[in-house]
Amino acid sequence: MSEKRQTANLSKNLLQMKFMQRSVLRIEEEKNAEERQRDIDDEHWVLDVPDLQQKEQKYRIEPSFVICENLNYGRMSFKGCNLEIEKIMAANNAEKEYEAARESERETEVNDQEMAKRYSTLIGIIAKKFTNKRGRNSQAGKEENGDGPQEAKRKVPKVFPDPPKPSTLQKVKKFLKPEDS
Amino acid sequence: MADHVGSLFLPGDLIQNLKESEATKKILLGPGLRQENDLILTSKPGILRFREPNVYWIDSPQKRYVPVKGDAVLGIVTQKMGDVFRVDVGASESATLPYIAFEGATKRNRPDVKVGDIVFARFSVANKDMEAELVCIDKHGRSNGMGVIRDGGFLHHCSINQVRKILNPENVLLKTLGKNMKFETAVGMNGRVWVKGRNINETIAIINALAVSEFMTNEQTLSMCKKLADSLAGF
């Protein structure tokens, strides 16, 4: 290190002198070696080949029979011979039953997409009901022909919750009477 | 597809038309099946089995155990070596069991394991090129029934098929025996079964039942268990 610094500090004029020729050669050699080293650092460890395309594995290797055949855990105890083991057995069984139940449920279950679809249409139906009601309320006020009130009679009790029902019915009847007579 | 399942295959046979899972489009290849590029070949002689939704494996009779990661096995401690125990599991090479891999074990608090003890343990490393490694704790650090098995009992050696058979959820052997007798058992996937009954007579009876039931159907097993229970009760 210190030698290097020394040589770097030598002046040009000094290096041109005859007795300095050997150290001139050495300095040049050092420079070359450094450059070569830099080349190695960058490119030396990378193979210049096209990227291997990662194919998706279709097969999974499972060397254990336990998973393939869904085998039970080997530690067992019966009739309270070893309570600790029986606890573990019960826990394992519960887990298995839960898995089985989930599996069977998955077959009969309504999936999320279907659920969302159904709800979105249901929202439409409910919204329609409410708009109808308001629309009908105002319509019933305006309309003065025969079948309007009849329909109102039939539908109003279904749509309305308890409190507003009697008032609307009365209103409708009030409007009805003069027309009939 | 379905026509392959249940028929006999020899090593090197090609298997085609495997059914993939509808959700993931994948196939699970179990023991005895090998993948070579896009071909599926068998590497053991036996019967091709299938389980829903996408699991295939070869059902072959085998007595030599090959360690598989995650398998619970019964081993015999053969040597203490500094911070590991050597355990014979019936495989081509003995496995190691670090003393730290027991429930509640620390550097200072070593588990009480002696040479000759039976341990029920799980493989944490099982590689064909490396020495297998056992642990006696699950992923949460609890023993979960693993560890040294003490207090007598009997260690019975049987085939790996037999072990698979009695651990199968559909098999009734242990359940029926458990209805009549009070006993405790540890079944290792390496073809070793440890049984401890209430007394020696019952232990022998259970081991005998295990030994004869290898090729029995469920009905035959049931009637055998009934006879056994009757004779034990003294009828």
CB contact under 8 A, A64 and B40: no
CB contact under 8 A, B31 and A63: yes
DSSP state of A18: G
- Asked if A77 is an interface residue toward chain B (Cβ–Cβ < 8 A), one would say yes
- Strands B133-135, B33-36: pairing is unpaired
- Range in A19-23, B66-70, B167-171 with the lowest mean pLDDT: A19-23
Q: What would the pLDDT profile of B196-234 be if each residue is shown by its tens digit? A: 999 999 999 999 999 999 899 999 999 999 999 899 888
- Asked if B65 is an interface residue toward chain A (Cβ–Cβ < 8 A), one would say no
- Asked if A68 is an interface residue toward chain B (Cβ–Cβ < 8 A), one would say yes
Contact (Cβ atoms closer than 8 angstroms) between residue B193 and residue B163 = yes
Helix, strand, coil fractions of chain B, as percent rounded to 5: 20, 30, 50
pLDDT for the residue A162: 53
pLDDT for the residue A48: 76
Tell me which chain B residue has its CA closest to the CA of residue A73: B167
pLDDT for the residue B156: 94
The whole-angstrom separation of Cα A166 and Cα A144 is 20
The whole-angstrom separation of Cα B202 and Cα B196 is 8
Q: What would the pLDDT profile of A41-61 be if each residue is shown by its tens digit? A: 767 777 777 777 777 788 889
- Asked if B85 is an interface residue toward chain A (Cβ–Cβ < 8 A), one would say no
CB pairs under 8 A between A and B: 124
Distance of CA A94 to CAs A76, A91, A100, A107, B137, Å?
A: 15, 5, 10, 20, 21
Angle at A160 between CA A155 and CA A162, to 5 degrees: 130
pLDDT for the residue A136: 56
- Range in A124-133, B8-17, B170-179, B191-200 with the lowest mean pLDDT: A124-133
* Best residue of B17, B25, B58, B71 to probe chain A, by most A CBs closer than 10 Å: B71
Q: Which residues contact B197 (CB under 8 A, 6 or more apart)?
A: B153, B181, B182, B183, B203, B204, B205, B206
**ipTM of the prediction:** 0.85
Tell me which chain A residues have a C-beta less than 8 angstroms from the C-beta of B186.
Answer: 74-76
Distance of CA A64 to the CA centre of its chain: 31
The closest alpha carbon to A73, from A91, A90, A95, A89, belongs to: A89
pLDDT for the residue A143: 47
Residue A4 tokens, joined: 């290097």
